Amino acid sequence: MATAPQQVTTLSQISPAVRDWVAEVAGHTKPDRVHWCDGSDEEFQVLRQELVSDGELLTLNPQTHPGCHLYRSHPSDVARVEHLTFVCTTSQADAGPNNHWLSPPDAHRRMDALFNGCMRGRTLYVVPYCMGPLQSPSSRCGVEITDSAYVVLNMHLMTRMGRPALERIARDGSFVKGLHSTGDLNPERRFIMHFPEELSIKSFGSGYGGNALLGKKCHALRIASWQARQEGWLAEHMLIVGVENPAGETHYLACAFPSACGKTNLAMLIPPLAYKGWKIWTLGDDIAWLHPGKDGRLWAINPESGYFGVVPGTNAKTNRNAYEMIQHDTLYTNVALTADQQPWWEGLESGQPVVDWQGRPYDSKRGPAAHPNARFTVAATQNPGYSPLAESAAGVPISALVFGGRRRELAPLVYQARDWSHGVLVGASVASETTAAAVGEVGVVRRDPMAMKPFCGYNFADYWAHWLSFPTRATKLPHIFHVNWFRRDKAGTFLWPGFGDNLRVLRWIIDRSAGRAAANETAIGFLPKPEDIDVSGLDVSLPTMQELLAVDPALWRQEMKDLGEYLRTFGARLPPKLMEEHKKVLERLG
């Protein structure tokens, strides 16, 4: 195991800035050992075996689930903690009302006290990583220092981690510094702090997902969104999917939905049986970095190389590819177990839970067997629909951007914004029922503009102004759409089947983008007529389609009023153009 960087690569390939920073952190946190990760499979296996020997990881049934392991996080540490997540900019206004804020000196003081000596008795792992294909000019590197081997295993699967990243950092000259310790997991001593002006992150007291895998939400969204604004691109909470029709024409869509609203399922969609010859190519399931290309289009890369997906609900019917992908070489977090050590979760549709996610004998009175935010971590290459273009340095050209939320009422199945500026308003208006992905009440509708509420590393008002600037940066911008798979009737039943059948809606979106589908012009944008969405073979009646595609002016006036109130909380920094778009919709509603 590499205890010094020159055991990973030659001295000339090591950035002195990385070496000095690691030495400084080690001096402060006082680990017993330092391990520089080379990113090799051997390293992954050794670390995994160490965790198994320590009892931190459980080997799952090797006959049914070869290479699969279960990790149980602390019961108080099972989701992102938005109330403990801060953006620390010199001026509070730069962080905006959408972020918790502390001044950088205050935040550093608080975090440095927590980190002081916190790695005594532990190993400090140095994890150099690259977000995006190693050869892509759009990619950005970082180094995460962590005292959790579980985090290292996740970073190995989720990012391009190890020697090549360390070497690229020496060439790039800059990198994001991410310092992480699980500390004592005391929720009172848990903070996730971002310093976008310094390109650094400090995270203490959690070992879970977006709190601890610093390449993901902390770097690839919060810090990257800040950098993207300065450099003229976009870092978004979007899946990237390619849809190939039977004629062999492929369109790439980037779609933003809040956490746990089906991004992984949409990115890995299985076409309905009647859709012979249609193919779905997954580029990414969570994050997209979008750059204006020389040809005037927006080009997307996925900064990640793995999936950290919600397990409950995954089965051969809802997402066959995801289900098959997680039968081997998968790291499970917080699922239940069957009597023969197979992973089990609600919605699996076979087997019986015997041990719950906390390791206790399963008792239905205590709630679900698997935690509702139980996750799988898996390399993206295990997905049968993984697009070879996910490794392309240039990324893929985007035909349409799609926003959506989880809303039982109001938002129709699909509508198209009138133009880019109106599309920015549509994105800013996204609202969704909260899910188990973050600590807090579940099922409450809240504004989640562009699905970035928990992830935008700066003031939303400036973010919308940045979005509105894109017509000056790119001449062939994609069309913008809004979808809602989650409409329900009065009895609470879903009106739309969702999952694979969402392809029927994507098809209309693609045809609109290609200028070959009709639409009704309404006050909120362009909507398909019921007959424009192919429902052949589906048990969805015409009245249901009419309900799914209805725009009720009274309800929408109320929605626009609420949206106006929300937007005005951003005060004087709000771009006037956004309020003009808002006014235009209200006028059209009459």
Residue 334 near which of Mn ion, ligand SAT, none (CB within 5-8 Å, type-dependent): none
Active site residues: 261
* Among ligand SAT, Mn ion, none, partner that 437 touches (CB below 5 to 8 angstroms by kind): ligand SAT
Closest CA to 407 of 282, 566, 262: 262
Query: Cα–Cα distance between 105 and 292 in angstroms, integer?
Result: 36
Question: Closest distance between ligand SAT and the C-beta of residue 438, in Å?
Answer: 6
Torsion, Cα of 396, 399, 405, 408 (10° steps): -140
Confirm or reject binding of residue 156 to ligand SAT (CB under 6 A).
Answer: no
Burial string for 198-215 (b: 16+ CB within 10 Å, else e) reads ebbbbbbbbbbbbbbbbb
Q: Residue 309 interacts with ligand SAT (CB under 6 A)?
A: no
Angle at 225 between CA 455 and CA 484, to 5 degrees: 50
| Binding-site string for ligand SAT from residue 172 to residue 211, where x marks contact by CB under 6 A and - marks none | -------------------------------------xx-
The CB density around residue 576, as the number of other CB atoms within 10 Å, is 9
**Minimum distance from residue 33 beta carbon to Mn ion (Å):** 33
Element (H, E) at 124: strand 123-131
Give the Cα separation of 193 and 164 in Å (integer).
27
Phi, psi of 217 (to 5 degrees): -70, -40
Rounded-to-integer distance, Cα 175 and Cα 201, Å: 11
Near ligand SAT by CB under 6 A: residue from 138, 225, 259, 434: 259
Q: List the beta bridge partners of residue 58.
A: 70
In angstroms, give the least distance from the CB of 131 to Mn ion.
Answer: 14
Instruction: Give 241 or 549: the residue with its C-beta nearer to Mn ion.
Output: 241
Question: Which CB sits closer to ligand SAT, 99 or 259?
Answer: 259
* SS3 category, 48: helix
Distance, in Å, from the CA atom of 557 to the CA atom of 510, rounded to the nearest integer, reads 29
235-274 residues in contact with Mn ion (CB under 5 A) are 259
Q: Which range, of 175-183, 280-288, 466-474, 484-492, touches Mn ion by CB under 5 A? A: 280-288
Which residue, 385, 395, 423, 401, is CA-closest to 509? 401
The residue (of 434 and 544) whose beta carbon lies closer to Mn ion is 434
Which residue, 259 or 459, has its beta carbon nearer to ligand SAT?
259
User: What would the x/- binding string for ligand SAT be over residues 69 to 88, using CB under 6 A?
Assistant: -----------x--------
Classified as helix, coil or strand, 12 is: helix
What binding mask, one character per residue, do residues 455-474 give for ligand SAT by CB under 6 A, x or -? Answer: --------------------
**Least separation, in Å, of the C-beta of 501 and ligand SAT?**
24
| CB closer to ligand SAT, 181 vs 434 | 434
Between 425 and 431, whose beta carbon lies closer to ligand SAT? 431
**C-alpha–C-alpha distance, residues 469 and 480, integer Å:** 15
Query: Residue numbers of the site for ligand SAT (CB under 6 A)?
Result: 80, 209-210, 216-217, 259, 308, 437
